[in-house]
Amino acid sequence: MIKTLTLIAFLCANVYAGIEHAPSPFKTSFGRAVFVDFKNATYNLIFDYKENVAYADTTINFESLSEGLPIFDSVATPQAVWLDGEQVSEEEIYVPGGVSKIRIVKKSVTAGEHTLRIRSKIEKGTSYGFKGVSAGFFIKDLKNRMFLERYVPTNYEYDQYQMTFHVEVKNASHRWHDIFANGEVVNPSQNKFTVTYPDFYTASSVFFHLVPRRKFVRYYLEYTSINGRKIPVTIYSHFRFLNGYLKRKAWRVLDELERDYGPYPHPKLIIYGTGLRGGMEYVGATATSLISLGHELFHCYFAKGVMPADGNSGWMDEGLASWRDKGYQTHEMPNYYSVNLANHNSYTRKTDKRSYKRGRSFFAYIDYQLKAHGMPGLKNFLAIHFVKRRFTTITTQDLIADLEEYSGLSFKEDFNQYIFGGGKKAGRSPAIELENPHHPEYTEEELQSIL
């Protein structure tokens, strides 16, 4: 059966998901708001060194499946918006339940394809110093509206779409710059770049770091994958000794992960040693401490290889990464009675902070169940699950379906009690959830410090 499922997984690979995971449309005082399917987006990013200001001129081609007010998001208030060539107004509103905010275009569209253009300032993640301009689109998954929308217009995390960044640093002729990015970077002339990101990327995928040329110690290396492919690896930080430690640990962890889950899935790897505690993952990239590097590299498979579709799905990759951090333990029962990790408001965008501790305990229990029924265990399932779902967005229901297909068992009651919060509440006060060391809640000052 496992061989058959492996073949099915290969046949199902690379079928990108997206709009089917979008939240439901909802009524507003302006009309019916609808989530749409971004097809592609072009971002013209101007960083003016002399004026210490940055702008984004964004063009989004999207499809609406029904009539309504199209939804997008940008934390920065747009300066101007055009829909299909006509200037229109927009409004920032709460989603149902008030768990997040979004922006709607205050003009209804028909079902079909349309074009949205947005002009806005880049208000976060920039710094101007003697050496030049620094800008980093760094993200966090434990807080609301902390993905790409923090910097430039984008969509909810369900949406996968191709992005192109045209970047220019103006009024800095005597200061050269470079870009670290997990897309294809072209540098046609001084301080001008084009970065092309693949069409499976989401609002939580992009790694973008613009820096003065003489900033950071940089290692440009190659890692030989288990399949013989030479993978370009860039490691950079403020310290040569840290780069060396990061390289040695990365090679060790990559060897481990490839043996467990197959060849490294991305075209390249970028490791930024920030000097901060913890880290954050991107597709084929991470900004991390040395201690958290293994946790973040695991996310190259689960989180940025198989990607969560929404805030109710983020618990899976954090639980799995934490399960690996603790040595893939096996438990006859979870060490808690019931918790809601994946049954929050459907418009939720952030990952539940309890996902690390509770998620790893639950996966240790699933591992026990599989082995108790004569199967190799959860790691074997994950290798097959990864091939089947690679570069797609998934929900908890997708994980349940794949587990049941793999095992022939039913896990619905287990997920209902331990993941959806369907069990009775324990008769004691819940334990305090300590901050996870691998994904701490960075302050604005800490994010600014790593630019």
* Cβ neighbours of 408 (radius 10 Å): 9
User: Cα–Cα–Cα angle for 427, 432, 435, nearest 5°?
Assistant: 150
Q: Give me the residues paired with residue 273 across strands.
A: 288
Q: Using the 8-state DSSP alphabet, how is residue 209 labeled?
A: E
The CA distance from 264 to 305, in Å, is: 10
221: in domain: yes
Q: Which of 75, 73, 81 is nearest to 57 (CA)?
A: 81
In the 3-class helix/strand/coil scheme, how is 406-437 assigned residue by residue? HHCCCCHHHHHHHCECCCCCCCCCCCCCCCCC
The CA distance from 61 to 50, in Å, is: 32
Looking at the fold, whether 210 and 171 belong to one and the same domain comes out as yes
Q: Which of 200, 215, 230 is the last residue of a domain?
A: 215
Cβ atoms of residues 306 and 386 within 8 Å: yes
Q: Where are the alpha helices (DSSP H) in 262-313?
A: 293-298
The CA distance from 113 to 276, in Å, is: 44
Would the pLDDT of 177 be above 50? yes
Q: Provide the terminal-to-terminal Cα distance of the chain, rounded to the nearest Å.
A: 50
pLDDT tens figures, 15-69: 455 899 999 999 999 999 999 999 999 999 999 999 999 999 999 999 999 999 9
The predicted model gives 67-86 an average pLDDT of 99
Looking at the fold, whether 104 and 152 belong to one and the same domain comes out as yes
Q: Give me the residues paired with residue 340 across strands.
A: 420
The CA distance from 424 to 437, in Å, is: 30
- The number of folded domains in the chain is 3
428: in domain: no
Q: Which of 193, 215, 237 is the last residue of a domain?
A: 215
Looking at the fold, whether 172 and 276 belong to one and the same domain comes out as no
Domain of residue 385 covers 2-14+309-418
Q: Supply the pLDDT for residue 441.
A: 78
Looking at the fold, whether 232 and 317 belong to one and the same domain comes out as no
What CA dihedral angle connects 98, 100, 106 and 111, to 10 degrees? -100
Q: Which of 215, 230, 254 is the last residue of a domain?
A: 215
**Sheet strand arrangement including 26-28:** 26-28, 31-34, 69-72, 101-105, 90-94
Looking at the fold, whether 400 and 273 belong to one and the same domain comes out as no
Would the pLDDT of 7 be above 60? no
Q: Using the 8-state DSSP alphabet, how is residue 19 labeled?
A: G
392: in domain: yes
Looking at the fold, whether 233 and 270 belong to one and the same domain comes out as yes
Residue 395's SS3 state is coil
- Kindly report the CATH number assigned to the domain that includes residue 70: 2.60.40.1730
346: in domain: yes
Would the pLDDT of 433 be above 70? no
Residue 337's SS3 state is coil
The CA distance from 126 to 169, in Å, is: 12
* Cβ neighbours of 218 (radius 10 Å): 14
430: in domain: no
Looking at the fold, whether 8 and 24 belong to one and the same domain comes out as no
Q: Supply the pLDDT for residue 13.
A: 43
224: in domain: yes
The overall pTM is greater than 0.85: yes
Q: In sequence order, what DSSP letters do the residues of 83-115 get, joined into one string?
A: ETTEEE-EEEEEPGGGS-EEEEESS-B-SEEEE
Residue 176's SS3 state is coil
Would the pLDDT of 11 be above 50? no
pLDDT above 70 coverage of the chain, percent: 94
Looking at the fold, whether 69 and 157 belong to one and the same domain comes out as yes
Q: Supply the pLDDT for residue 426.
A: 45
Looking up tokens 């110093």, which residue turns up?
Answer: 129
The CA distance from 103 to 370, in Å, is: 45
Looking at the fold, whether 244 and 351 belong to one and the same domain comes out as no
Looking at the fold, whether 403 and 334 belong to one and the same domain comes out as yes
Q: Which two tokens stand for residue 63?
A: 């499809």
- Kindly report the CATH number assigned to the domain that includes residue 265: 3.30.2010.30
Q: Which two tokens stand for residue 83?
A: 């829909």
Looking at the fold, whether 25 and 105 belong to one and the same domain comes out as yes
pLDDT tens figures, 290-341: 999 999 999 999 999 999 999 999 999 999 999 999 999 999 999 999 999 9
434: in domain: no
The CA distance from 115 to 45, in Å, is: 19
Q: Which of 88, 40, 46, 85 is nearest to 60 (CA)?
A: 40
- To the nearest whole number, what is the mean pLDDT of the chain? 94
236: in domain: yes
Looking at the fold, whether 227 and 261 belong to one and the same domain comes out as yes
